[in-house]
Chains A and B, each alone.
Chain A
Amino acid sequence: MGSDQIIDRWVPQFRKGLLEFIILLKLQQGAIYGYELAVEIKKLTSIEVAEGTLYPLLNRLKRDCLVTSQWQTAEVGTPRKYYQITPLGLETLAKMKTTWTQTHNSIFNMVMQS
């Protein structure tokens, strides 16, 4: 197996592991619904994941009280379920950011030394 193939396999796994963090980062900017979230994640991160896989993640975040959801049905148009980050979600996100920064700095140093 060539290095390109290994990287092709590694990159999606690496990015998928970050999805919960990315979802919370996006929700920090305001309430958002599933389709919009999928589009934004694709646009901002180039992560190619099946859009449906966001829903089990959103459900898990909801179960852990990090987000809440609410249906918004307009007179005309598609009903949308909006997700919003909770105070516990913000607290968790702050810790995630710290962990991310520490990990990023450590790995960055290792990469620079190599």
Chain B
Amino acid sequence: MNQPFPIKSKVAQKVWHNFERDLVHKLAPLPKDEGNDIRLEIMSHLYESASHDEADLEEVRFINAIERLGSPEEYLDPLIADILLTQQTIKGDPRAIYQSLLASARKGFFHNLATLVLGLGYFWVIMIFIMSVMHLGDPDVGIWYYPSGNFSLSFSAQPDAIQWQPKWFPLIGIITSASAYWLLNKLLSYLFAKSK
């Protein structure tokens, strides 16, 4: 089997495994795939760096390479913070969604368009949810149809209009808005991941 990082000395193997163990521990808050990707990249860097070091002992070459990499906090913390922001967006954290939309808006025409569409989507989803909950206390809140074929979302009874599903509106509204919120989060996280 192909061994990507062959290490001869036992002591050097210990240095390598200790460093890798620390890395795995520090990357634990990340999704498994992201954590593994970063770990492999850092270990690959470490191996290359050690193999170009001029020290006689293999373990010293690894220790020197670890020193050249710098403090893990210095390079892992910003990386982890960035990836966790994406993760929180997937989970629907409103602050992370706001930050992602803001980041997306700074990336040119396509991203501005996506931000506008997603922003409007979130706006309507939240509106429908609020109206559905309000309907429980005030039955006039809902969707109203006019004989002309137009309809409106309204917080009060509309003259000459018929209310759409007055009995089921809260249930339909809450389920639909919750599903749409979940879908928008998925779409935002997909776009966010695609842009990475």
Contact = CB atoms under 8 A, between A and B. Distances in A.
Interface string B159-196: 00000000000000000000000000000000000011
Contacts, number: 79
Chain A: interface size category: 20 to 34
Interface stretch (B75-83, B127-135, B147-155): B75-83
A42 to B, nearest CB: 9
A50 B44 CA distance: 16
Given A34-B41, A50-B71, A55 B82 contact: no
A80 interface: yes
Interface string A47-75: 00111111110011011110000000101
A108 interface: no
Chain B: interface size category: 20 to 34
Contacts of B76: 52
A94 interface: no
Interface SS majority for chain A: helix
B94 interface: no
Interface string A75-100: 11111110000001000000000000
A52 B48 contact: no
Contact of A78 (B5, B69, B107, B196): B5
Contacts of B69: 50-52
Contact of A63 (B5, B40, B49, B195): B195
B138 to A, nearest CB: 45
B48 A78 contact: yes
A84 to B, nearest CB: 14
B96 interface: no
